[in-house]
Each structure stands twice: as C-alpha cells, then as structure tokens.
Amino acid sequence: MDKIDVVEAACPQCSPEEEVMHTVVKSHLLKCEQCGFIHRLPHEKKKAIKIKVIVSRGGASSAQQLEVDADEELYAGDEFVIDVGEDVSGVRIQSLELLTGGRSERAKAKDVRTIWARAIDEVVVKIAVQRLGETQSLDYKVNGDYEFAIGDIMKLKGYEVRISSIKVRDGGIFKRTGKAIKAKDVRRIYSKIISQERRAVGEGLRASRKRSGENARKA
C-alpha cells in the first residue's frame, strides 16, 4: 500500500490562523482533514507576481487578482480562495490563458496572462425534471460541497422527484444508484417525478426567496 503523506498547515477555509492536519494530494496541493478543502502548499513568496483572475458565477463574471510565486505551477482543477468584491470565495481553475497566446491546463505562474476560474463555494445546479413526456429545467442553488446521490429523493415545485442520473463537468454520466457527486462537479441532474404533493413545499431555494419577497410586499 502506498504511503500517504500528512503534514500540518493552515487551512485558508476553516483554520487560517492555526495549523491542522492535511493530506498531500500532489506535490503542490494539500487536502484539509477537517473540512476537505484542497489548496496549494503554503510557501514563501520569493518572486511574487499578480495575475488577473476572471471568476464566473452563474451567468455573471468578475475580474480579480491573485498573488502567487512566479515559479509556482498552476493546474486546471486547482482550488483556492480569492477576494471577490467584499466577499471571500472558493474558486476552481478552469483554464490558463498564456502570455504567448492560447490556453493550457498547466503552466508556471510567470507564463500566465489570465486565470479563468469558476466559483464553487455556492453554485447553481441545473435539474431536469421529466413530467408527462415533457422535461422542465430548474435551477437549484446550493453549497458547492453538497453531495447529490443517484436514487435520492428531492422535493421540487410541489413534486417528489428521484435522481436518475448525473452528468458531471468532464462530460461523463453516472447512473449507478448510490453514486454521489458534489454540486461543484455537476453539470446537470436528471430526475423523474414519483409523486405529487397537495401543495408546494420545496420549490428550490430561488423560488423560496421569491415567495418570501412577494409576501413581504403584500404585508
């Protein structure tokens, strides 16, 4: 059995001030044992540079900056924390735009013009619901680390639906019952209605907020 390396390091998500146990995922990546967040290995910035980061969240995007060591290797799939406006957001690298042109999934920071990233701390998951031969697409906002499992039953717009398959962002589709996928890795969830409730009890997070706003205005 391969030896699993563990180290103590500060976690930018759950323990930025005190060191906690981490598992070494790659030579440059650590996984926090307390919260599961994956981040870069802490290091002394000898040649710090700032790189523009385009962060997309839903249909909107914003430009931020990330300060890194010039010789640090960046990879598509890396996750890190960045200031987005007045908030701090967890993001994942989608691709790297190079100074020489084109994009790559791996490069040294000094060779990167722009990091293209996606917010993953809170994501909107597309859920396709099959009903009477028709398919309706719903948006469901949830924490990026929330797990959906095939076979799970959810309440959406007054119906109980069962998840039948999940399409992930790398293009694969899973159909095995019990297979769980984190929301940040989901491209689309496919579901089927199994029962209808007398009144809407779920309607997803977005619909709930909308109803609350309408009730407040009526009051």
Distance CA 203, CA 191 (A): 15
- Does 147 share its domain with 114? no
Tokens found for residue 178: 């019990």
Distance CA 192, CA 46 (A): 55
- Does 9 share its domain with 90? no
pLDDT of residue 38: 86
Confidence of residue 214 (pLDDT cuts 50, 70, 90): very low
- Does 160 share its domain with 102? no
- Does 165 share its domain with 212? yes
- Does 114 share its domain with 133? no
Tokens found for residue 64: 């931020």
pLDDT digits (tens, 9 = 90+) for 88-107: 788 999 999 999 999 999 99
- Does 142 share its domain with 129? yes
**Pairing relation of β-strands 48-57 and 112-119?**
parallel
What pairs with residue 180 in β-bridges?
A: 149
What pTM does this model have?
A: 0.59
Distance CA 120, CA 64 (A): 15
pLDDT digits (tens, 9 = 90+) for 156-189: 877 889 999 999 988 899 999 999 999 999 999 9
Tokens found for residue 73: 């290797």
Distance CA 82, CA 76 (A): 16
pLDDT of residue 213: 41
Q: How many domains does the chain have?
A: 3
Tokens found for residue 103: 């994009």
Domain span including residue 68: 44-120
Confidence of residue 46 (pLDDT cuts 50, 70, 90): low
pLDDT of residue 87: 67
Q: Are 183 and 148 in contact (CB under 8 A)?
A: yes
Q: Are 160 and 141 in contact (CB under 8 A)?
A: no
- Does 139 share its domain with 206? yes
pLDDT greater than 70 at residue 47? yes
Tokens found for residue 160: 């109980």
User: Coil, strand or helix: which one is 181?
Assistant: strand
Confidence of residue 113 (pLDDT cuts 50, 70, 90): very high
